[in-house]
Amino acid sequence: MPDRPAVHLAIPVDDLAAARGFYGQILGLSEGRSTDHWIDWDFDGHQLVTHLVAQPSVPAGLSSVERHVVPVPHFGLLLTHDRFCDLADRLRAAEVPFDIEPCLRYAGEPAEQWTMFLRDHAGNALEFKAFTHESAVFAR
């Protein structure tokens, strides 16, 4: 558990075996408790729960951020640059399609960051990012 409060996030999926493949094998998350209706995942010290539902939700819309169109809602993690690069390589090796390929945003600005967007097998949108200066996460 991190030194800070952890987040609990529950998301819908339509196939728990596919969830195990994506979250467990591709993303490399450790599986916690589970039933035949849900699976707990260790999402970098946060609790991510994939709940089996007949029809998972789809993003409500799109939002313009810098020169990209991003799916909303989405969730993800802030990573170190090395972990971001390792994850991007892992996703490419698994041939996971990106909504937004790994790229640098806000170059030269206080909030300079690497970011990538993708979707899990159920269509849930995920963003992973790495700030050049970790202390600038909330920089204005």
pTM of the model: 0.88
Question: What does DSSP say about strands 68-72 and 38-43: parallel, antiparallel, or unpaired?
Answer: unpaired
Q: Give all domains of the chain, ordered by start, each with its CATH number.
A: 8-52 (3.30.720.120), 62-136 (3.10.180.10)
Instruction: List C-alpha distances in Å: 58 to 64, 73, 120.
Output: 18, 9, 11
* 44-53 residue pLDDT tens: 999 999 999 9
Region of 21 (left: φ > 0; alpha: ψ -120 to 50; beta: rest) is: alpha
More confident residue, 139 or 127: 127
Does residue 13 have a pLDDT over 90?
yes
* 51-105 residue pLDDT tens: 999 876 666 788 888 788 888 888 999 999 999 999 999 999 999 999 999 999 9
Residue 125 has phi, psi (to 5 degrees) of -85, 135
* 100-115 residue pLDDT tens: 999 999 999 988 999 9
Tokens of 84: 């971001």
Q: What confidence category does residue 1 fall into, taking pLDDT thresholds of 50, 70 and 90?
A: very low
Q: What is the pLDDT of residue 59?
A: 66
